[in-house]
């Protein structure tokens, strides 16, 4: 008697597009969405797919279950040949850091919204910080627990936090490894909004739709300029903004935006 076929494992990252919004969902709820090697690859592929798809104008990143992402899956590290953290770390140095979620998120022109359905720690916190906008469920927390684990914020936290909070607050958070409530995150400016957990995705989708209704070429150019402005002088930045304006002035969307304004109606942008 032949054995019954086994069900295929569920994908560790879910990808769906509705209208102009792509939703990417971390899907290891039994492991609090900790990042496995499989999830790392699937997340990269999903982010790149959203960036390539000309129909997608905004990306929402969220998770299933009670956590957004509890960090890297340490069970994979401790199972490494040699049986310890050091062995796992020796494998980590072989990662191509140019093609990991934090660097892909930073390089994306599409706006990204992190819908923090639950708590984020370590790598999960850094990934959330890499999104442009963060909306947080009222029961979620951010745990900057790196120094409590003997490591540093390895995926962008030491770059993002001083810029988001200023040096003193960032230093306090990183050095203490403190865990922040949703309300503390809101007060510090780490998230834009705190909403009830059952209203989180609907709120993120509403913000995404509001962004997607605008001219996508202009939104993406604005994000590029914000990113470039982090490391430019004012005069250099103004020059680069002017260079971005030239092709936008020639776009069909710019003409549509001006007509819609004069005709007192909502514009219908096509990304051309």
Instruction: Provide the 3-class DSSP secondary structure of residue 248.
Output: helix
Between 103 and 87, whose confidence is greater? 103
The angle that helices 167-176 and 157-165 make with each other, rounded to 10 degrees, is: 140
**Kind of pairing between the strands at 179-181 and 119-121:** unpaired
Kindly report, residue by residue over 141-158, the tens digit of the pLDDT: 999 888 877 777 777 888
Stretch among 18-32, 117-131, 258-272 having the lowest mean pLDDT: 258-272
Q: Can you tell me the distance from the alpha carbon of 60 to that of 105, in angstroms, rounded to the nearest whole number?
A: 12
Q: Can you tell me the distance from the alpha carbon of 133 to that of 173, in angstroms, rounded to the nearest whole number?
A: 20
CA torsion, ordered 65, 77, 185, 231, to nearest 10 deg? -130
Query: What is the average per-residue pLDDT within 178-192?
Result: 96
Interior/surface letters 155-191, b for 16+ CB within 10 angstroms, e for the rest: bbbebbbeeebeeeebeebbeeeebbbbeebbebebb
pLDDT (0 to 100) of residue 51: 96
Q: Can you tell me the distance from the alpha carbon of 267 to that of 250, in angstroms, rounded to the nearest whole number?
A: 17
Give the chain's end-to-end CA distance (angstroms, integer).
Answer: 60
Number of residues written out for the chain: 272
Instruction: Check the CA dihedral 39-45-46-47 and report its sign.
Output: positive
Instruction: Provide the 3-class DSSP secondary structure of residue 115.
Output: strand
Instruction: Check the CA dihedral 152-156-157-160 and report its sign.
Output: positive
Query: What is the average per-residue pLDDT within 217-240?
Result: 91
pLDDT (0 to 100) of residue 249: 86
pLDDT (0 to 100) of residue 47: 96
pLDDT (0 to 100) of residue 85: 44
Structure tokens at 266: 């909502």
Query: What is the average per-residue pLDDT within 240-256?
Result: 87
| Confidence check: pLDDT of 7 > 70 | no
pLDDT (0 to 100) of residue 155: 79
- Topology adopted by domain 13-212: 2-enoyl-CoA Hydratase; Chain A, domain 1 (3.90.226)
Structure tokens at 28: 């290891």
Residue whose entry in the numeric block shows the structure tokens 């999830």: 39
What are the extents of the domains in the chain?
A: 13-212, 216-262
pLDDT (0 to 100) of residue 19: 95
Q: Can you tell me the distance from the alpha carbon of 135 to that of 203, in angstroms, rounded to the nearest whole number?
A: 8
CATH of domain 216-262: 1.10.12
Mean pLDDT of the chain, nearest integer: 87
- The helix (H) or strand (E) run that includes residue 39 is helix 37-52
| Confidence check: pLDDT of 108 > 90 | yes
């Amino acid at each position: 008697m032949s054995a019954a076929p086994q069900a295929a494992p569920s994908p560790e990252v879910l990808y769906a597009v509705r209208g102009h919004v792509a939703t990417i969902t971390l899907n290891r709820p039994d492991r609090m969405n900790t990042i496995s090697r499989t999830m790392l690859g699937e997340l990269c592929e999903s982010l790149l797919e959203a960036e390539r798809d000309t129909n997608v104008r905004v990306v929402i990143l969220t998770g299933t279950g009670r956590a957004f992402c509890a960090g890297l899956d340490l069970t994979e590290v401790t199972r490494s040949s040699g049986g310890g953290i050091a062995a796992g770390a020796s494998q980590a140095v072989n990662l191509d850091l140019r093609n990991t979620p934090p660097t892909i998120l930073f390089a994306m022109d599409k706006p990204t919204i992190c819908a923090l359905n639950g708590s984020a720690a370590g790598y999960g916190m850094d990934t959330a910080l890499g999104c442009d906008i963060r909306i947080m469920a009222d029961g979620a927390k951010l745990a900057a627990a790196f120094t409590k684990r003997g490591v540093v914020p390895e995926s962008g936290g030491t770059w993002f936090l001083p810029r988001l909070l200023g040096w003193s607050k960032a230093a306090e958070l990183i050095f203490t490894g403190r865990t922040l409530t949703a309300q503390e995150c809101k007060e510090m400016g780490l998230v834009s909004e705190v909403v009830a957990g059952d209203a989180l995705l609907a709120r993120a989708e509403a913000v995404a739709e509001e962004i997607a209704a605008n001219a996508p070429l202009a939104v993406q150019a604005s994000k590029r300029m914000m990113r470039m402005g982090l490391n430019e002088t004012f005069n250099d930045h103004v020059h680069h903004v002017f260079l971005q304006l030239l092709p936008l002035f020639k776009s069909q969307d710019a003409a549509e935006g001006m007509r819609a304004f004069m005709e007192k109606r909502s514009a219908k942008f096509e990304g051309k």
